[in-house]
């Protein structure tokens, strides 16, 4: 028989011990998930379907009260859909929910030679860590949320609120086929509590309540392709593109240089990142060059101003060089208002962490983009929290098993709050 218990009535040791008993299952499930690439079509991948199918089997075996799948149509992937899964554990209150939002998709592995512990999608356990692409981002939190509720189910504990776990697609790109798709379908109430465990620090002492604005743009330079032995007959798009990018990099860092200690790091960042291939042989001067900027901008600045400055620099280099230079916007997300630090979700999470770990977490903002921003944009307070060594997007990415189990304990106690 299920019994509803408030957190103050629960024997803390019983919950923590039950979660600890599930450690082996957690590690095994994480390894199974890491084996399946779930890469977006923008990066040459096939999407999340295979991982979603495995996840459905895991959830069905545990026995949630309701499991639903929401497929967003996407003709770019073989399955033609980007799946999103929601699993419910009913509480006394069937209307108001506590949500834990994680994502299934991962970034590409990058340079294979940089992976020295294992291959990206061949997970190994070593030194108390699970290595593999997607192990930390976002497999650790995804698995931790599932087994937190399994522990409560095994103990026969029913929560006050209904607990809902959402496993979404497309987070590493624009979330168009993921959390934005679910928000547009009205799954979330204004009074729901939203936790997004997709960022944090090594001891779990940081609750993220704000994000910077995010801007991705491409600088496309068109010149004239010729043989490398006769450069005077062509127009080297690669050289012009590099010079333009360096000038733009310098301008943006100098002009948008204010600092806000709410955020970590405290300043805006403007990073040239991806570089497209241009020619197939060394003895060809390229006629086209494409490179990308990832910008995380303090909310006090306008992204339109940043884009206007980029366009102005491009026009100056066009006039000087004779090349055609276009600045093309890929993602433009103005930062929504922060989650109030005195909101219920912040208070509940802060008290749960304090009770579980004996630490008082601080609140602040980050430059990384998460699903939380879309909730804040919709007027629903959301927080980001987890315990991570911040190896996401790196070679030799890993999830620390101690953090995997520890975060599951926090989620279990939070569900009982």
d(C-alpha 130, C-alpha 360), whole Å: 28
Catalytic residue, candidates 18, 136, 137, 171 = 171
Pull the structure tokens for residue 411: 């989620």
d(C-alpha 115, C-alpha 406), whole Å: 27
d(C-alpha 48, C-alpha 198), whole Å: 18
Before 92, cis peptide (omega within 30)? no
End-to-end distance of the chain based on CA atoms, in angstroms? 20
Going by C-alpha positions, the residue among 227, 329, 230 that lies closest to residue 283 is 227
C-alpha torsion 86→62→194→190, nearest 10: 50
d(C-alpha 15, C-alpha 414), whole Å: 11
Residue 309 among the catalytic residues:
no
Q: Which helix (H) or strand (E) holds 75?
A: none
Pairing of strands 288-297, 263-264: unpaired
Catalytic residue, candidates 18, 48, 105, 137 = 105
Pairing of strands 362-366, 284-285: unpaired
Residue 389 among the catalytic residues:
no
Pull the structure tokens for residue 46: 């096939």
Phi, psi of 274 (to 5 degrees): -70, 145
Contacts (Cβ under 8 Å, ≥6 apart) of 166: 84, 85, 86, 99, 100, 101, 102, 179, 182, 187
Pull the structure tokens for residue 205: 């002492």
d(C-alpha 33, C-alpha 139), whole Å: 7
Pairing of strands 398-400, 288-297: unpaired
Active-site annotation, residues = 105, 171
């Amino acid at each position: 028989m299920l019994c509803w218990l408030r957190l103050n009535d629960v024997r803390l040791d019983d919950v923590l011990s039950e979660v600890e008993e599930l450690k082996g299952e957690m590690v095994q499930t994480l390894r199974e998930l890491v084996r399946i690439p779930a890469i977006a079509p923008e990066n040459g991948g096939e999407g999340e379907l295979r991982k979603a199918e495995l996840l459905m089997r895991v959830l069905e075996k545990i026995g949630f009260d309701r499991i639903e799948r929401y497929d967003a149509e996407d003709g770019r992937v073989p399955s033609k859909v980007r799946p999103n899964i929601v699993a419910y554990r009913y509480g006394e209150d069937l209307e108001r929910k506590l949500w834990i939002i994680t994502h299934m998709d991962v970034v590409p592995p990058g340079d294979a030679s940089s992976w020295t512990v294992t291959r990206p999608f061949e997970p190994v356990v070593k030194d108390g860590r699970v290595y593999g692409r997607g192990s930390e981002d976002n497999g650790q939190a995804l698995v931790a949320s599932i087994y937190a509720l399994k522990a409560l189910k095994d103990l026969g504990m029913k929560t006050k609120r209904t607990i809902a776990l959402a496993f979404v697609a497309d987070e590493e790109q624009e979330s168009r086929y993921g959390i934005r798709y679910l928000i547009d379908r009205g799954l979330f109430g204004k009074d729901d509590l939203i936790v997004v465990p997709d960022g944090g620090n090594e001891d779990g002492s940081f609750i993220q309540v704000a994000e910077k604005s995010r801007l991705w743009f491409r600088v496309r330079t068109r010149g004239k392709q010729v043989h490398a032995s006769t450069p005077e007959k062509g127009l080297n798009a690669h050289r012009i593109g590099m010079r333009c990018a360096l000038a733009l990099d310098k301008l943006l860092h100098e002009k948008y240089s204010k600092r806000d200690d709410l955020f970590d790091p405290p300043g805006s960042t403007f990073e040239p990142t991806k570089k497209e291939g241009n020619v197939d042989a060394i003895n060809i001067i390229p006629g086209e060059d494409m490179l990308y900027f990832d910008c995380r901008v303090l909310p006090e600045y306008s992204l339109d101003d940043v884009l206007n400055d980029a366009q102005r620099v491009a026009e100056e280099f066009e006039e000087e060089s004779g090349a055609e230079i276009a600045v093309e916007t890929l993602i433009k997300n103005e930062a929504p208002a922060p989650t109030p630090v005195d909101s219920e979700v912040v208070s509940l999470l802060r008290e749960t962490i304090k009770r579980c770990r004996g630490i008082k977490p601080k609140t602040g903002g980050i430059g990384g983009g998460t699903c939380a921003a879309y909730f804040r944009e919709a007027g629903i307070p959301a927080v980001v929290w987890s315990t991570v060594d911040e190896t996401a997007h790196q070679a030799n990415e890993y999830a620390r098993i101690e953090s995997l189990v520890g975060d599951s304990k926090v989620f279990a106690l939070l569900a009982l709050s």
